[in-house]
Structure 1
Amino acid sequence: MPEEGESRKRFLRQLGIGLLAGIVGLAATYVCSDVLLLFGVSLGWPVIIAIGVGVFLFAFMIAAAVMTHGWLRVLSIVMIPVTLLATAVRANAIYGEYQTMGSLFDYSPYPHISTLDLSLNTISVREWNEQAVAKSRNTTQIPQSGKLVHVDIPNPKSGFKAREALVWLPPAAFAKHPPKLPVMVMFAGQPGSPTRFFTASNAIEVLGRFAAEHHGLAPIVVSPDQNTAATRNSLCADTTKWGKAETYLAQDVPDWIKANLPVNDKASQWTIGGFSQGGTCATQLAPNHPNIYGNVLAVDGEVAPTEGSVDHMVEAYFSGDKAAYERQVPQNAIRNNAPSKQLMILGAGARDGESVDNIRKIGDTARENGWTVFRFAVSNWGHDWHAVNAVFAVALPYLCERMGLGNENVQFPTDSEVKEIS
């Protein structure tokens, strides 16, 4: 019996150490996330709690490994890395960031665009649909699904040192006489990469489903690099710190797309969007370049480009020129280029209160200055790719109809997890 009592005391000590460590870990994570904002945005309570529980289990297993003997010690040592892995997997499941082992290492197995034989001898979407109904050879000899390829987009005007871009092409793009297709330029967040937009989101699945139901028609989606590296934030602006990102995204990228892909070059046929920092880029670039991007699809974006304090950004990025920074703030860009007939679709995870507040502010300013605005909150999710996926699936049919690919008089759903907010 004394031995049993000693075992109970030992377990309680282990439990106490784990609980104390878990509380400290929970508090430290909250302070880093929501007080110091070390990650730029709040991690959200589901992630903060997951980390707190992970720290508790980690400390408990270490204490057990020190205080026990025999098979219990061996089991505790084995459970230490298992606990770390389980915590990481849980946090990733909440964010939905890494869907495969390849995406964890930013692996891009896709062929280069030079391996494709794309024609620029285009026809109109109306002509394409007429040929599809008539089952012409031009529309039947296309692949059953779209293709994802990579490409180095040149930078003659900007000199911006971008990483490789990824391009998704719908089946119709491979016809001998393809239709003039609309374009979506989409960004992942930061940290992130062009590959991340496709590997973390459900975009290819949603686009493929739309194409299968519309004679192979869907937008061409290009995910260029807006930051030069995963850990950098270019602010999507022309700066002295990381180069001319804005010139690259508003001139070099569109110029390459128009010269090399079967696209419609009207601004009303072009959408720019993204997640988190990528969403911020979209809401600042579209109003500053209404002749390029007629539509916006942004999720969980910030109310202003952010990398430290405003004073820090003004000095480090704009050589002390505050007006140059202010021009990049979405609400300022909207007002400076008003009035506009552009479209803005904004989304946010309902658990990400700051992002919900951001889309209200930006949306209000856009609506006041002539934009058509839709705003959505996604139930049960926060600042994560689950919110992106839900908004993308709802927004794509509407955008496609606006850009001439559908004729269903699309209505946004009223009974799903994606709720329109005023």
Structure 2
Amino acid sequence: MQVWSSWLQSLMRVRIVSGPFHDGVLLVAAAGLLILAAWQLACFDRVRLLWQLLAGVATGAAGLLAAWLISDVIMVFGVSLGWAVIGWAAAGFAALGFVIATAVQARALRRVIAIVMIPVMLVAAAVQVDTVFGEYQTIGSLVGWSPYQSVSQAGIARPTMTVDQWKRRAADGDLPNMPSTGRLFSERIANTASRFRARPAMVWLPPAALSDTPPKLPVLILLAGQPGSPGRAMQASGITALLNDYAAAHDGLAPIVVSPDQNGGDTINSLCADTAKFGKAETYLTKDVPNWIAAHLPADDAGAKWAISGFSQGGTCSTQLAPRHADLFGTMIAVDGEIAPTSGSVDNMVASYFGGDRKAYEAQVPVNALAAHAPSDQAAVLAAGENDTVSVDNVKTIGAAARKAGWDVTELEAPGTGHDWHAVHAVLEAALPWWCARVGLGSSSTTTNKTWKDYDKLEVLQ
């Protein structure tokens, strides 16, 4: 049983977007196509090969059209998938058409190879689409597998000092024992105030927080997109690796990261609001989650030392909640967010989510929330992938509204990315050190003079 459990855990940790599994799938797919085509040529039957290739071209064109319609015309996912995704979908359809046509026309072993290649082509196309998005990083993330202990079982100590006191101890060479890297936990946060049905949250604690005498640390709330989950937000963003590197250079100091579930399921869009349709998501995020953090983690007081960040629908939530709850969040970092919370038409949302109350919906629109709660001394990093032109426009619109409301605003574009987690990673790589400096982390022995323009993965829009 122990051997089986160990093998299963190893399987769940296999990376999808890079490494041996990713490269192996693509290699087998390419080799299969070459073998089938070469075998047909070796049989001197170029007519059948031509028909097989034409079948591939036809299905590829059909796949291209279908993906484009779904992505950019019908917009099933609310945003464009981008041409990289559309292109890989078309390539997958083309390869599938070729191997199916070969399976129909071939005989014996070649037919068997063609049939075997059908699922291989499907997997290869799916892997490449996922690589573009960066959503599912491991096999375990596909099935929601979590190997993580809960915070309540780990015996995390209460804070005993400030960050400045920790820095002074570091300067004196008198830091307490702590691990060399941070640690991930899974936790079901009590929904006492909201009764909102959330999935378990993910929590990352830096080395300093895992010591017996931790300091009070800043907190970052990280929200996934929709569909999405706290686990995928932690994995796909790459935030734990970024913060482990930061902590290694700053005497174990880094922010606490909590990724709560703002939706309750992959097929649910709560709008991050208190609604009649899916319950009190806003109350959960702004009451239950902060209350749990204050009671169980070595966290600084909410407000100036807290930030909220998110991607896609999570980015939209960030731009809704930060201005509406300035007492909780001094900073927001939003990537590829929408101009407004979206789940169908506005009329449908007003009717089904807000019981016909148009003002309740309008209050959730970021530009309206910013204006309604102005002036503010909060800070915002608003960003989008270069190829997600709709989100780039949203950044400019929301950025202008935030600046008018008194916010300290930075607008960024991530070249070579789209509506994907690669944009998020590029933004966090620069935004996390900036925010950490803003909230007082770091040490006298490790300083940085980097500015936004020093990060080659970003362009500063404003």
Gaps of 5+ in 2: 1-40
Give aligned-pair identity as a percent. 50
Q: Which amino acid aligns with 2:114?
A: S
Give 2:132's aligned residue. Answer: 94
- Where does 1:73-88 land on structure 2 (aligned, <5 Å)? 73-88=111-126
Alignment partners' CA distance in 2, 1:97 and 1:382: 13
Pair 1:39 & 2:77 matched:
yes
Pair 1:106 & 2:144 matched:
yes
Runs ≥4 in structure 1, deviation > 6 angstroms? Answer: 3-6
SS in 2 for 1:12: helix
Alignment TM-score, normalising by the size of structure 1? 0.96
Alignment partners' CA distance in 1, 2:386 and 2:342: 21
Select which of 328, 335, 338 maps to 1:302.
338
Alignment TM-score, normalising by the size of structure 2? 0.88
Select which of 278, 297, 301 maps to 1:261.
297
- Where does 1:16-55 land on structure 2 (aligned, <5 Å)? 16-55=54-93
Pair 1:118 & 2:156 matched:
yes
Give 2:317's aligned residue. Answer: 281
Query: Residues 76-125 of structure 1, C-alpha deviation per residue, up to 9 Å, x if partnerless?
Result: 11211111111011101111112211112121101111222222242111
1:117–1:174 Cα contact (<8 Å) kept: no
SS in 1 for 2:329: coil
Cα 1:234–1:415 shift into 2, 3 Å: closer
SS in 1 for 2:160: coil
Pair 1:393 & 2:429 matched:
yes
Q: Which amino acid aligns with 1:132?
A: A
Give 1:356's aligned residue. Answer: 392
SS in 2 for 1:11: helix
Give 2:306's aligned residue. Answer: 270
Which piece of structure 1 moves more, 354-363 or 400-409? 400-409
Select which of 313, 317, 332 maps to 2:349.
313
Which piece of structure 1 moves more, 71-80 or 331-340? 71-80
- Where does 1:146-295 land on structure 2 (aligned, <5 Å)? 146-295=182-331
User: Cα distance, 1:146 vs. partner?
Assistant: 0.9
2:254–2:441 Cα contact (<8 Å) kept: yes
The alignment of Structure 1 onto Structure 2 pairs a total of residues equal to 418
- Where does 1:127-146 land on structure 2 (aligned, <5 Å)? 127-136=165-174, 139-146=175-182
Which piece of structure 1 moves more, 280-289 or 262-271? 262-271
Alignment partners' CA distance in 1, 2:239 and 2:230: 13
2:316–2:340 Cα contact (<8 Å) kept: yes
Q: Which amino acid aligns with 2:381?
A: I
User: Cα distance, 1:6 vs. partner?
Assistant: 8.0
Give 1:324's aligned residue. Answer: 360
1:299–1:347 Cα contact (<8 Å) kept: yes
2:160–2:214 Cα contact (<8 Å) kept: yes
Gaps of 5+ in 1: none
Query: Residues 190-214 of structure 1, C-alpha deviation per residue, up to 9 Å, x if partnerless?
Result: 1111111112121000001111111
Alignment partners' CA distance in 2, 1:164 and 1:151: 5
Query: Residues 253-303 of structure 1, C-alpha deviation per residue, up to 9 Å, x if partnerless?
Result: 111111221111141100001111111110100001111111001111111
SS in 1 for 2:228: coil
Q: Which amino acid aligns with 2:121?
A: T
